[in-house]
């Protein structure tokens, strides 16, 4: 919708026929070669949004292995894995599960919930901005 080309990297071929306007590469998302085939070495950003946090970290590491200046975004699904995913040094970490837990705790304790807090919790940025 924003006019940016997107390639979806899937571990397995989709059942049925994929939409003609969707660019799909099938393979291991943690493989540098598969990422190169998907164009990650020339991409603006690579989003690692898998269900498995370890796989998301490996996607970030494999993308770094390609070199270049591609931005990496990693999802963290389990708050216990946040520190480990940060070790892979993605440019941005998105942690929706952390947000849900933090918001619930703050609301139950009668604490204030602000937009800044929500943004800080959603985008668990591991690197300080210049």
Average pLDDT of every residue of the chain: 86
Please give the Cα distance from 109 to 12 (Å, whole number): 45
Specify the pLDDT at position 85.
93
pLDDT confidence bin for 100, thresholds 50/70/90: confident
Which of 9-13, 14-18, 122-126 comes out lowest in average pLDDT?
122-126
Per-residue pLDDT at 128 exceeds 70: no
Rounded to 5 degrees, φ, ψ at 37 are: -60, -35
* 49: nearest Cα among 18, 114, 95: 95
pLDDT at 130: 43
Angle in degrees, 0-180, between the axes of helices 96-108 and 115-122, rounded to the nearest 10: 140
**pLDDT, average across residues 26-44:** 93
Q: Percentage of the chain with pLDDT > 90?
A: 49
Task: Return the pLDDT at 118.
Answer: 77
Phi then psi dihedrals of residue 67, to 5 deg? 80, -170
The per-residue pLDDT for range 62-95, each reduced to its tens digit, is 999 998 889 999 999 988 898 999 999 999 988 8
């Amino acid at each position: 919708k924003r006019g940016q080309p997107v390639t979806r990297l899937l571990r397995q071929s989709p059942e049925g026929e994929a939409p003609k306007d969707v660019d799909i590469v099938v393979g291991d998302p943690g493989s540098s070669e598969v990422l190169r085939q998907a164009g990650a070495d020339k991409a603006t950003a690579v989003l690692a949004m898998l269900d498995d946090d370890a796989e998301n970290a490996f996607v970030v590491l494999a993308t770094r292995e390609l070199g270049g200046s591609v931005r990496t975004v990693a999802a963290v699904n389990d708050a216990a894995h946040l520190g480990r995913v940060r070790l892979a040094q993605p440019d941005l970490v998105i942690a929706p599960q952390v947000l849900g837990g933090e918001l619930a705790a703050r609301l139950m304790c009668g604490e204030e919930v602000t937009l800044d807090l929500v943004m800080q919790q959603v985008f668990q940025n591991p690197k300080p901005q210049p």
